[in-house]
Amino acid sequence: MFWDYKYLLFVMLPGLLIGLWAQMKLHSAFGKYSQVPVESGLTGAQAARRILDNAGLNDVPVEEVEGQLTDHYDPTKRALFLSSENYNGNSIAAVGVAAHESGHALQHQAAYAMLNLRMALVPITQFASTIYGGILLLGWIMGMMKVMLPIIIVVFAIITLFQLITLPVEYDASSRAKEQLFRLGLVREDERAGVAKVLDAAALTYVAALVGSLLTLLYYISASRSRN
């Protein structure tokens, strides 16, 4: 499959281009609005703390982690982690990203169904991601792709399902973030557009991941049918 022109032309190339486009949009938006301070002067950590406390989530810590755009909410630890730039920064980008991660904490508090489903799928998705490469390589080396294809399809279907569920979770977190930022007066009316551009650009990376997964899954399904 590694030399199959259909895989290269209809899966790898489109997936790569879409992924690069999404990353360019994200870095462009983040780079621009990380240079624009919010009028309130709040840092990302302070904005997140305001949102969490207002929701009664005083026991959810906001911690600093290394790396760039490593921000995330860990539902197993019930803790919010912000990269140093967003933890300490008082830019539109920093506050927007911090609010987005706070949105995941609000989802957790509200028992948001899609987040719960995503959490339930994490172990099996991690397992599927771990064995996927090995199964693909084994089938190729041993010339057993016809036998392995059904297994590969099931494994990649799990990965694709996880990506599909992740998309509404991320968009909902951004929606909650925007609502809280504006409702609590943490950003001004004229700062709304900047927050929206940063969060929308971040969401595009999840769209790109889903498209790439779908293209790969469809390719494997097509390959399986052609071999029967």
Query: Do the beta carbons of residue 213 and residue 163 sit within 8 Å?
Result: yes
- C-alpha–C-alpha distance, residues 9 and 34, integer Å: 36
pLDDT in tens, 179-205: 999 999 999 999 999 999 999 999 999
Q: In the block, which residue shows the tokens 């989802």? A: 107
Query: How many helical (H) and strand (E) elements, i.e. helices and strands, does the chain have?
Result: 8, 3
Q: Which residues share a beta bridge with 62? A: 80
Q: What pTM does this model have? A: 0.91
Helices marked H in 92-191: 92-109, 113-141, 145-183
Tell me the per-residue pLDDT of 120-156, one tens digit each, with 9 for 90 and over. 999 999 999 999 989 988 888 887 888 889 999 999 9
Q: What separation in angstroms does the CA of 175 have from each of 50, 96, 100? A: 17, 11, 8
* Cα 204 to Cα 197: distance, rounded to the nearest angstrom: 11
Confidence of residue 33 (pLDDT cuts 50, 70, 90): very high
Domain residue ranges in the chain: 5-227
Q: Is the pLDDT of residue 6 over 80?
A: no
1-14 average pLDDT score = 75
Instruction: Say whether 85 is catalytic.
Output: no
**Catalytic residue (choose from 39, 63, 66, 101):** 101
